[in-house]
Amino acid sequence: MPTVILINLSYTVAAVLFILGLKFLGNPDTARRGNALSSLGMLLAVVVTLLDHAIIDYRWILLGIVAGTLIGAFAARLIAMTAMPELVALFNGFGGIASLLVGCIALSQSQLDRFILLTIFMSIMIGGVTFSGSLVAWGKLSERITGRPLVFNGQRFVNGGLLLANIVCGVMFVQHPEQTLWLVLAVLLSTSLGVMTLLPIGGADMPVVISLLNSYSGLAACAAGFAISNNILIVAGSLVGASGIILTNIMCKAMNRSLANVLFSGFGAASGASKKIEGDVKAISTEDAFYILEAAQSVVVIPGYGMAVAQAQHGVKELQGLLEKNGCEVVYAIHPVAGRMPGHMNVLLAEADVPYDLLLEMDDINPRMETFDVAIVIGANDVVNTAAREIENSPIYGMPIINADYARTVFVLKRSMASGFAGLDNPLFYKDNTRMIFGDAKETVNKLIRELSS
């Protein structure tokens, strides 16, 4: 009895650490502490679970711990910030396949009532969808698979059929668990559903996809916790699942989509080619841009994935310092879905030690946009695409954007006139107050730094 009390107490402590970790992750100043607390909670949960069960041989467990530690350490050190979205997608997939495997192994338990069988099936189905869907998301983010929606006639009926087949398979599995055919079908159908669900999703919707798959991985873990009667796994999975759903809802509002549309409509399928925008582009040199910046009293920087690709965040921070020394106010406008994962720009700018209080959300910056002398758009396209306001037949019409065009002058730093990840042309580039500065964003920013320094 004392052992049971100690184990439950340890699980409670681990759960508290998880909750505190999530709370601290909500603020950049305490994010590292939150990450450390969550990791400590998981370590405690794993150790206590191992001590609570009769382990025949610890060598494989120790080998797994060492391998996982090395992989995590190398990933943290070697993966570039530009590759962080696809790494997160892979991590979601690993969570899904782990839950699927736990569900399969749970079948070896001696007592399996229908509730346990149902949770086993749920862990297998949700885990399979998460695993295969995350692999497709990884492929799209890393551009090994086209970022365009892959659609065909009757696709929704196929996906609906796969979902119905999964449900039927689940019913048969619960009724006849001794027949391994249903287990094999559950794995095949769930992984197929994950692939078919992700294929019609366009690249611009990837931040929503990442948060949704993160929620799925948590739900799969929660189901696996019920399957093996492990309370801390239930708690951890519930926390991840709930936080992922909340984040998904935030992302949906930022994209002007409903949660039902995300879950059931193959969202992003409409993200295709839009009406070709025509007009004259006004390109300027960094020398001319310098004179405008030198006279500016207020500047807003609007970052996007292109800034991550160019690794220009450190240069932008240095440019900010020079402008501030010149008496200019500098702030950053962050769209909720800028980049390719939730919070991508926040993480990128935090890496460059940009003060968090200078990062303003879309709803806070838009009412002030007309007061800024210069808006600098760095590697962003979709989150400032005025087609969302101006072109009714555009796939992104109605999507809330950062109103960069309302600033007195707009500098757009781009390599070329190529469209963004969503594949849509941007009327902003042709407006009278917009000036294009072509070239690598990092080199452009460094040239501006040299001009301001001299």
Residue 270 tokens read as: 């409409």
- CATH pick for 286-453 out of 3.40.50.1220, 3.30.1330.40, 3.40.50.620, 1.10.645.10: 3.40.50.1220
Dump pLDDT digits (tens) for 398-442: 888 999 999 999 999 988 777 666 667 889 999 989 999 998 889
Confidence of residue 259 (pLDDT cuts 50, 70, 90): low
State the Cα–Cα distance between residues 210 and 199, nearest whole angstrom: 14
Q: Average pLDDT over the chain, rounded to whole?
A: 86
In this model, does residue 452 exceed pLDDT 50? yes
pLDDT per residue as tens digits for the range 202-241: 766 778 888 889 999 999 999 999 998 888 999 999 999 9
φ, ψ of residue 73 to 5 degrees: the values are -65, -45
Total residues belonging to the chain: 454
Q: For residue 353, how many C-alpha atoms fall within 13 Å in the half-sphere facing its CB? A: 5
Question: Quick one: pLDDT at residue 261?
Answer: 64
**Alpha carbons 328 and 301: distance in angstroms, whole number:** 13
Nearest CA to 219 out of 184, 244, 190, 195 is that of 244
**Domain range summary for the chain, segments of one domain joined by +:** 79-264, 286-453
> What spatial distance separates the first Cα and last Cα of the chain, rounded to whole Å?
75
Region 86-113 average pLDDT: 89
**pLDDT tens readout for residues 358-403:** 999 998 999 999 999 999 999 888 889 898 888 887 777 888 899 9
Lowest mean pLDDT among 53-62, 161-170, 279-288: 53-62
Higher pLDDT, 221 or 257: 221
Q: Give the residue from 257, 275, 278 showing the smallest Cα distance to 266.
A: 257
Q: What is the model's pLDDT at position 199?
A: 84
Give the pLDDT band (50/70/90) at residue 171.
very high
Q: Is the pLDDT of residue 270 over 60?
A: no
Chain-centroid distance of CA 352 in Å reads 20
Beta-carbon count within 10 A of 288 CB: 12
The whole-number average pLDDT for the span 69-95 is 85
The tens digit of pLDDT for each residue in 296-332 reads 999 999 998 888 888 889 999 999 999 999 999 999 9
Dist. CA 235–CA 19, nearest whole Å: 10
Does residue 275 register a pLDDT over 60? Answer: no
pLDDT at 1: 47
Residues serving a catalytic function are: 382
Mean pLDDT along residues 97-112: 88
